Structure 1
């Protein structure tokens, strides 16, 4: 993977991670879904700015990922895109104050090591 291809990967991962962040923030604004409020919350999703930003970020991530796929084998691009999991854990810990256990740290390390091994030629 060249530096330009790696840059595309990082942009795709970052956009998807920001999508995750804004979708979570929007979900917190909506509140918990129950059978009594499900329909109104579904309608609210279309008008919640935070959710719209999250979807747009995901869309941007998908576009950049498609650009990456024009240059890189799927067998490299797809596993490399798993870095979104690492970014999501980091966002969860720093933004939403979620716990970072040893198991999660090890899992993140394994994901990163796997990406390096798959992306290496």
Structure 2
């Protein structure tokens, strides 16, 4: 559990990247590749300020995730990324005035419950794995 702050940083940067990409695409307007070179259009999209910031934020999120993966089990760390769905839905509701109906709220609740269950499962085991990766395994640990 000592790496939970890094995991949550990964989640929040992932969500922030999604929000920046959405803002960027909204500022560009509807896409149309008719009458233009697709490569130039893609470059215009990638280098628009919000989209570019979102892509850079994804790089930061990925670097953080790689650090987390070097410390804890994948089966513990990866499900936390589903919290990005929760953050995106909530922020999209407030920032972009997107719909947050009962079905979405129920889905968010299920995601949160599942993430709490996964966090509880890694409370002891995740730390043992992280410690074991830096220290030689003792026979007594193998018998647990």
TM-score normalised by structure 1 residue count: 0.91
How far, CA to CA, are the matches of 2:18 and 2:44 in structure 1?
18
Query: Residue 68 of structure 1: SS of its match in structure 2?
Result: helix
1:29 to 16, 22, 27: 27
Per the alignment, residue 9 of structure 2 pairs with 11
- The residue number in structure 1 matching 2:98 is 98
Larger Cα-atom Rg: 2
Deviations 1:29-58 (A, max 9, x none): 221122415724312113211111000111
- 8 Å Cα contact 1:15/1:58 also seen in 2: yes
3-state DSSP class of the match of 1:77?
helix
Q: 8 Å contact 1:30–1:41 — kept in the other structure?
A: no
Runs of 4+ in 1 over 4 A off after TM superposition: none
> Equivalent residue of 2:21, what SS?
helix
**Structure-2-length-normalised TM-score:** 0.77
Tell me how many residue pairs correspond in the alignment: 119
List alignment gaps of at least 5 residues for structure 1: none
Give RMSD over aligned pairs. Answer: 1.4
Partner of 1:74: 74
